[in-house]
Structures are given as C-alpha cells and as structure tokens.
Chains A and B, each alone.
Chain A
Amino acid sequence: MESSISRRDFLKMAGILPLSLGLPPFLRMYNPSQPPADGRKNVLVIVFDAFSAYNIPIYGYARETTPNLSRLAERAVVYHNHFAAGNFTTPGTASMLTGTLPWTHRAFQLNGTVNEAYAHKTVFEAFSGYHRIVYSHNPLVNTLFKQFTADLDEYVPQDRLFLTADSLVHNLLGNDEDIADVGWTRTIKKGEDGYSYSLFLSDLYALSIQNKIAKVGSRYPRGIPSIRGDNYFLLEDAIDWLQNQIGRLPQPYLGYFHFMPPHAPTSTSIDFYGTFMHDDYSPPWKPTDILSAKLTRPDLMRQRAAYDEYILYLDREFGRLFDFLDGSGVLENTWVVLTSDHGELFERGVRGHISPLLYQPVVRVPLMIFEPGRASGMQIDAATSAVDLLPTLLHVSGENPADWAEGVVLPPFAPTAPDLQRVVYALHPKENDPDKALTHASAMMVQGKYKLTCYFGYEQLGNDQIRVELYDIQSDPEEMHDLTDEAPDTAAALLAVLKQKLDEVNRPYL
C-alpha cells in the first residue's frame, strides 16, 4: 500500500517545523494546572510601586487616570482610607510582607532588610502549603526577597523581565544562576564602569543592546521604562509573562508581583504621551514646606502630568491582565489584590516620596480586593493599613493566623465590625540606625477622622524641637487646615498616644 505522505512532503513539513518556535504566546493553548481538590484558592498580589491613591479617580482625583480601575472597581472591595506603613519601598513592602510596622521589622533604611527575627515571619512562611512565587522590578524589593528565599518556591530574578535580559545564563547555567550571572555581567557588560573582562565581545554586545532598545524606543517618547542605567523593561512584557506563569503554576499558589510603574522615571507609552500636559487641571495650591526640596509649582505640575500619564499606562496593562484572568476562569478560584507600597508627592515643594513629609498623597495608597465570584463592588471607608493584608489573606484562605502580625482582618471579611477608633500608623525613620531607638523621624497616626503627624529630630526644626500637625481628613482631605491650635485637646490626646507608642517601640533599643 502506497503511503499517503511522500518523502518529499515529509521533508517539506519538517522544514516548516522550526517556524512553530516563533509562534507568539497568545496562539498557544491556555492550559492551566488543576485546582486543588481541597478547594483552596490561589492568591495573587499585584503591587504597583509608588502608586498614590490621590491620583486615582475612584479616590477622588479629577483627572481620568484609571479608566480600567474605575470599571473593575464595580467588582471589587475598594478601601478608601488605606495607608502604607512607610513612605518608600523598603519599609512599605516589608510591612506588607511581614504584617508588621517599620519600627517592628526594622527594614527602614534604603536597601535595608528586616530584623532576623522577622526573616521567617512573612506572608511566604505563613502560606507554606502554597506554591510561592515572587518577582519585582524594584531592586529594594529584591533585597527583601533574597532574605526570604528559604520560604519561597520560585524567586524570579529581577533582570529576567528586563529588555537586556540574557536567557543564556538562565537556560544554560540555571543551577548556579546568581554567580554565573555575575560572571557574565562582569564579562560582557561595560555599563557605567566602562570596563569589562571582555575586550571585544562587550562592544558587540553593547551594539546589539542599543539596536534592541532603538527598536522599541520610538514607542516611549520620554524614554523606555527603566529602573536606572540600562535596566529597561516593558510592562507589557511583564504582564504577558505573568499570564504565561499563571497557566503553569502548581495550585494553590501565592504570587507576589511588584511592578515598577508609576515609580519615576515616568516613561509612559506613546499612546498616553501628552494626555494631561496641557489640560486645565489645577490642584489646590499648598505652601512649600520647610522640610521639602522646595521645587516650584510649574515644575511639580509638569512632573505630576507625566506621572498621571504613566498611570494610564499601568492602568491599561492591569486592565489587560484582569481581563485575561476573568476570561480564562482564573478569577473563579483566585483572590486578586491590587495595592502599592507607598504613594508619591507633587506638592509643598516635594516631588517623589523619600522626604520627611507624610501628607496623604505619599501614605494613602490604593487597595482593591477581588474576591472569587464577587460581581458587585463594595466601598470601605474605615482606616486600614498595609499590615492588615497578611492577616486578611490568611483569614480568607482559611490558613492559621500569624500570631506576630500587627494588623487586623479587613472588613468585610472580618467576623466582627471594624473598630472605628483603631489607630493606623505610618513612618519615615530612614535616617535612624535600625539597631537603635528612633530619634529622627516622622510618624503619622490616623484615628477616626483625625490624622496627626509628628516630625522630630530634624535639623531644620532645631534638633530638639518637634512639629505636630492635626487634620480632619474627612472634611479636609487636602490637609489645608492644621487644627493643632483650634483643637489643642484632640491634638494633645493623639500626640500622647503616639508618644506612648514610640516609647514602647523604642524601649528594646534604649
């Protein structure tokens, strides 16, 4: 019997097989792993770095920066008074991951790590029965991840999602990836040092990277999104990668993914470039603070517009991720959390977040929880904290509570009604030695409608002076009217609570 495929046909078919390697990921079959038989749900935490609630319309912002979040909020539990525990990545993230405040975990210096006692008191340890995977663009978060590797199943290196990522080391030398990567980097990348082990290939490598960058550069008029130097990345790539990961992760899983936008440098896509640069938005004028870098209002307005345009970019990508999760059925058995590690200031002479100031835009961050099966939105106005995330995720997942955590289970998931007199704290202790008592810091507390901030130890104030501000953040969300003189009793009572707390946390270090 004659074969239906001739030798020539077979060779032709074999010839086109390599083309299948070039098939884009979206053409591949989405084939997720099986959910566990015990009904446990997955947990997916998405963090956008330096994402301030102040700049999001669902929290009252006038610019339409997040059309997708507005759409998705109709299916989420939205927290309107959610506070980061610190004003930059290290303390903010460490608090989310450990469920403790910066004065407890002590990771509050730039690139700091948590006190060894908390290295195994993290969300990863608490979810030990889950497949735990983490990724972050931000090097400060990676410093924390490295401290927590014993409780991680997959730690995806930071540069895996950089445009300059080299799959060679990962694919060929995966068992010794860290050191192989250092060897490869020292050999091939001249970088800012201007020298490398290689005499010739490093120049060819630099040329190939330049070509790669040039190809995508035109899509990002303010520069390709980056951390610094040549650490370029595309959020689109990160979201595509995450979608692929979700399909292959063993269930149940706990995924923590910390993406850089809208953190500076604000390099939005050409699709959003210029959207807000010349609109008529004008935030209220606020006086330049003595503790600020004293930037001018036009400068701040320009940078705010660039930041808002960058938010449009992350909003589009989060919307795309969410639609994928929804369309693929992942949402049916996955808790999805969207939040940030801290906010960003564009007022009172400050652009950024690492400054002594703890006004609302730098400490109030978004928190949206997408519960499996939830079809309607819910608004929570009670003050909540980043340290609440760990107890809440454990509670909704049916896991044992973390006895070390300083947060509470968030409404509406808590079995009891929220305590309206609960005190929520945030801190800027960056200049202090983690092994000593806090002597030079800004501390903020929110109780009910009042927010009290205390600045102490700053040279500009006179080292032995403190500065106290009190605001009614319900009626004065822009913090324009300091109430310390008008409501001295309230200010004194709240300050006493704050001082007592500071005394308590300082005691072990005195």
Chain B
Amino acid sequence: MCALPLHLWTLILAFRDLSWLTDRTNAWDAVGVLCYGLLFAFLESVVVFLAASLLGFLTPPRWEPKRRFAVLSIVVLVMSLWAMVSQLFFLMNVHVPGAIIAFLVRSGHPARLLYAGVLTVVGASFVVPGVLVVRPGRGTGVMTGLIDRLGLLATFYLVFDVAALVIVVIRNL
C-alpha cells in the first residue's frame, strides 16, 4: 500500500516528462529518467513503509492485525492524496478562488481562519475513514478487500522497479 500511491504519482509525472526529454535528448535517456524516478519511488516506499510500521506501535495492542493494517493503510493513502493535491495546485496552475480570498480578508483574521479551515478539512479526511475502519462493522472488511486488490496492482509496480534497476545498472556499467 505504501508503494502504490508513490509509484502511481511518479509514473504519471514521468510519462508527462517523457516527450520533452525525448525531444531534448533521446528516447533511451528519457527512459533512463523514468527508471531513476521509479527507483527513487521504491526507496521512498521503503521509507514510508518503515515510518508506517513505527506508527503501528502506537495503535492499541488489543486491535487485531487486520484492523491495524487497515488503519495504517488509510493513513498512508490519505496522506498521499493530500500530498498529490498540494502538487496538483502547481501542476494544474489552480489558484484559491478570489471569493474565498476576499472572504478571508474581510474576516479580519485571514491566517487564523485559513489554518482552521485547512485543519478541519484535512483532519476530517483522516478521522472519517479512520473511524469507519476502526469501528466494528463492515469498514475493516471493505478496507481489507480494497488493500488486497490494490496490493495486486502494487506488485506490478514492483516488477517495473526490477526492470528499472536493470536498466539503471546497464546505464552505469
């Protein structure tokens, strides 16, 4: 689950870069950049996995492994989604709507209001799915099923990583 969002994001951006890299260098170099990106994504996945594992120590011991796994996966996924959103603002050149800025300015405490708003939205995005998964019921089962399916997809990415490693080794011989 750690590998999935990181690899997905890397692949989206790397394919986006592929054409201009090919124009400026050649297809082999452009593939090289993609391979380095995948390798770094793999390393980042390992780091995120270790961080999530450490976070696992903070979960109550009475939770069964499935529930613990589901909660940590939710945390990683939501964090990744927010990280993607923060970059999408730049990528798609999206600006905060003028009406919201005007409202914040009129409030007299724009920074406070902005932080409070962001904290509420971001907090809710973690708490709502987290509670759904933690509470007894279908939440944990749904999440575990989702993890199983996404896990299969992530395995493909790991195959790409192996291919990327081979290409990087060849390039550095």
Which chain A residues have a beta carbon within 8 Å of chain B's beta carbons? 173-176, 178-180, 182-184, 186-188, 190, 193-201, 203
Contact = CB atoms under 8 A, between A and B. Distances in A.
Nearest to B11: A197
Nearest to B171: A176
B151 interface: no
Given A173-B36, A180-B168, A187-B10, 15 more contacts: A173-B168, A176-B168, A180-B36, A180-B171, A182-B36, A187-B40, A194-B87, A194-B90, A195-B88, A196-B13, A197-B41, A198-B41, A199-B5, A199-B84, A200-B47
Residue among A174, A180, A195 with max Cβ neighbours from chain B (10 Å): A195
A314 to B, nearest CB: 34
A102 B32 CA distance: 37
Nearest to A169: B36
A205 B124 CA distance: 28
Contacts of A203: 83
20 contacts: A173-B168, A175-B173, A178-B29, A179-B33, A180-B172, A182-B33, A183-B32, A183-B36, A183-B40, A186-B17, A190-B87, A194-B87, A194-B89, A196-B13, A197-B37, A198-B40, A199-B6, A200-B44, A200-B83, A201-B47
Contacts of B78: none
B9 interface: yes
Contacts of B125: none
Interface residues on B, range: 20 to 34
Contact of A188 (B25, B40, B48, B89): B40
A193 B91 CA distance: 8
B143 interface: no
Contact of A176 (B5, B32, B87, B89): B32
A200 B2 CA distance: 12
B143 to A, nearest CB: 21
B40 A197 contact: yes
A196 B44 contact: no
Contacts of B37: 183, 186-187, 197
Contacts of B5: 199
A184 B43 CA distance: 12
Nearest to B17: A186
B74 interface: no
Contacts of A196: 13, 87
A198 B44 contact: yes
Interface string B29-51: 10011111100110010011000
SS of A interface (majority): helix
B14 interface: yes
Contacts of B17: 186
A406 B101 CA distance: 62
B172 A175 contact: yes
B37 to A, nearest CB: 5
A180 B35 CA distance: 9
A187 B91 CA distance: 14
A186 B118 CA distance: 28
A195 B90 CA distance: 7
- Nearest 4 Cβ contacts at the A-B interface: A183-B36, A194-B90, A199-B83, A195-B87
A183 B91 contact: no
Contact of B80 (A179, A190, A193, A199): A199
Nearest to B88: A195
B104 interface: no
Contact of A195 (B13, B35, B36, B44): B13
Contacts of A195: 13, 87-88, 90-91
Contact of B33 (A175, A186, A190, A199): A186
Nearest to A203: B83
A173 B172 contact: yes
B21 interface: yes
Residue among A173, A175, A182, A193 with max Cβ neighbours from chain B (10 Å): A182
Interface in B80-113: 80, 83-84, 87-91
Residue among A175, A178, A183, A195 with max Cβ neighbours from chain B (10 Å): A183
Contacts of A188: 40
Contacts of A200: 6, 44, 47-48, 79, 83
B171 A197 contact: no
Contacts of B48: 200
Residue among B13, B79, B83, B87 with max Cβ neighbours from chain A (10 Å): B87
A223 to B, nearest CB: 24
Contact of A179 (B9, B29, B40): B29
B50 to A, nearest CB: 12
A192 to B, nearest CB: 9
Contacts of B10: 187, 197-198
B57 to A, nearest CB: 20
A180 B25 CA distance: 13
Contact of B171 (A179, A184, A193): A179
Nearest to A204: B47
A184 B14 CA distance: 12
